[in-house]
Amino acid sequence: DTAVSQTPKYLVTQMGNDKSIKCEQNLGHDTMYWYKQDSKKFLKIMFSYNNKELIINETVPNRFSPKSPDKAHLNLHINSLELGDSAVYFCASSPRTSGSLGGPQYFGPGTRLTVL
């Protein structure tokens, strides 16, 4: 059983297109994240949702729009794709109780996005 799953695993698309990546976790966690890992392997947070509420929104172009229909799902929609968007996008989740230290994050397998 995959704890954090992402679809698709690979995504190749033309510049200017709009695409979505989906993430689901079956761990019962409250918090979900999107990270971007660039070609230099640097992992950087983009967004975080806690119980469907956006709690972290880093300096990400507004072409990127996350959406959490419920606490087990977090999707990422990207408009007008650019060459620089090519990267691996990871979804993660963590247990988090309000008012206390959160738990560690568990990652999905990643979506490798290539923009041509």
Partner 1 sequence: QKEVEQDPGPLSVPEGAIVSLNCTYSNSAFQYFMWYRQYSRKGPELLMYTYSSGNKEDGRFTAQVDKSSKYISLFIRDSQPSDSATYLCAIAMKTSYDKVIFGPGTSLSVIP
Positions in the binding site for partner 1 (CB under 8 A): 4, 31, 40-45, 48, 50, 55-56, 90, 94, 96, 100-110, 112
Q: Min. distance of Cβ 79 from partner 1 in angstroms?
A: 25
Q: Cβ(76)–Cβ(62) under 8 Å?
A: no
Nearer to partner 1, 9 or 63 (CB): 9
Q: What is the DSSP string of 15-49?
A: TT--EEEEEEE-S--SEEEEEEE-TT--EEEEEEE
Kindly state the smallest distance separating residue 102's Cβ from partner 1, in Å.
Answer: 4
CB of 101 to partner 1, least distance (A): 5
How many other C-beta atoms can be found within 10 angstroms of the C-beta atom of residue 109? 14
Residue closer to partner 1, measured from CB, 14 or 97: 97
β-strands 111-115, 10-13 pairing: parallel
- 14 versus 101: smaller Cβ distance to partner 1: 101
Nearer to partner 1, 14 or 100 (CB): 100
> What strands, in cross-sheet order, belong to the sheet with 64-70?
4-7, 19-25, 73-78, 64-70
Shortest CB 30 distance to partner 1, Å = 11
